[in-house]
């Protein structure tokens, strides 16, 4: 794999498509990491894996307005391009695609993507239209980057499931690589939202992953009363922390449906609201 001397920033779709067409003609493999920026250690894990697997790594940084709902403040989404560029340099990224909203959406779209499945549960249940925006921008990016592999973190498991459906349904010649969640020592999933936790909340937050791990162990042992297990774990979380459980669900994966019987691939996913931060996490396993 290459050893880089610099990371190049590209801001236009035409330049990106010309570049990736040349790379494909030169038989180079392309690893793609799409992000909205404000990069943290979870993103570094994606970039490291992409670097190991491919000749060329493309990182996109684009805060996509299509995936923000009417009550979600697009303007307040955290941005720090200089920090992100430094992370990219440290992780040997070849190219950063950093377009403006006007570059990605120069006029009102005549065609958008509507996601039919895997969105009416978990976080998607309270964010109608969010994954339509995700799927629409990814469709554009997949065509522009022409990657061999695309990398997402398993922490956003519902997004991974939606992307899996997008790639399969639209026959993108693209491998989806789901990278395991990066965790703190107490199991808390690393996230830019964690800085919003107070010190006491941060001490309590390890209960989230402990609850997921307990759910996995109970089901592996054969516990089949899912409602009883869910209710007990919700009670444990709310007793041992100041967080309020938004949801704790047991579903098939990646279809994200209620399991008819506990077999095959299962996800246990939760969201917990603290005073200034809503944290999500999940665990995926086979029964």
Q: pLDDT tens digit string along 172-230?
A: 999 999 999 999 999 999 887 898 899 999 999 999 999 999 999 999 999 889 999 99
Decide if pLDDT at 111 tops 90. yes
Decide if pLDDT at 266 tops 80. yes
Q: Where in the chain does DSSP place strands (E)?
A: 8-10, 30-35, 56-61, 95-97, 149-153, 175-179, 244-252, 265-273, 278-286
**262 contacts: CB under 8 Å, gap ≥ 6:** 219, 224, 226, 287
Token output for 62 = 């684009």
Q: Per-residue pLDDT tens for 129-156?
A: 999 999 999 999 999 999 999 999 999 9
- Average pLDDT (224-241) is 95
> What is the rounded radius of gyration, in angstroms, for the C-alpha atoms of the chain?
20
- Per-residue pLDDT, 1: 46
Average pLDDT in the chain: 94
Domains of the chain: 8-179 (3.40.50.620), 192-282 (3.30.1300.10)
Phi, psi of 155 (to 5 degrees): -60, -40
Token output for 131 = 């994954």
Q: Which residues are catalytic?
A: 43
Show binding-site residues for beta-alanine.
67
Token output for 25 = 């003609």
Q: Determine contact, residues 115/254, Cβ cutoff 8 Å.
A: no
d(CA 195, CA 77): 14
Show binding-site residues for (R)-pantoate.
67, 159
């Amino acid at each position: 794999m290459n050893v880089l001397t610099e990371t190049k920033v590209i801001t236009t779709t035409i330049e990106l498509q010309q570049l990736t067409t040349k790379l494909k003609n030169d038989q180079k493999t392309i690893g793609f990491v799409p992000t909205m920026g404000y990069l943290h250690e979870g993103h570094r894990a994606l970039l490291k894996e992409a670097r190991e697997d491919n000749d060329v790594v493309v990182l996109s940084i684009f805060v996509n307005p299509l995936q923000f709902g009417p009550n979600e403040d697009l303007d307040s989404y955290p941005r720090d391009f200089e920090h992100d560029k430094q992370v990219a340099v440290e992780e040997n990224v070849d190219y950063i695609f950093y377009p403006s909203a006007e570059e990605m959406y120069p006029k009102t779209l005549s065609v958008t993507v509507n996601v039919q499945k895997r969105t009416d549960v978990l976080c998607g249940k309270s964010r109608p239209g969010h994954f339509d925006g995700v799927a629409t921008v990814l469709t554009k990016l997949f065509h522009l980057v022409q990657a061999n592999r695309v990398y997402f973190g398993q922490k956003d498991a519902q997004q991974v499931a939606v992307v899996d459906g997008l790639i399969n349904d639209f026959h993108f010649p693209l491998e989806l690589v789901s990278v395991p969640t990066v965790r703190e020592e107490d199991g808390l999933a690393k996230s830019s939202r964690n800085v919003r936790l107070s010190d006491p909340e941060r001490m309590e937050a390890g209960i989230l992953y402990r609850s997921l791990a307990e759910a996995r162990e109970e089901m592996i042992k054969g516990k089949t009363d899912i409602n009883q297990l869910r209710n007990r774990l919700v009670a444990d979380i709310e007793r041992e922390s100041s967080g309020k459980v938004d949801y704790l669900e047991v579903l098939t994966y990646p279809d994200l449906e209620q399991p008819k019987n506990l077999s095959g691939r299962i996800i246990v996913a939760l969201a917990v609201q603290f005073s200034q931060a809503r944290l999500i996490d999940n665990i995926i396993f086979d029964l």
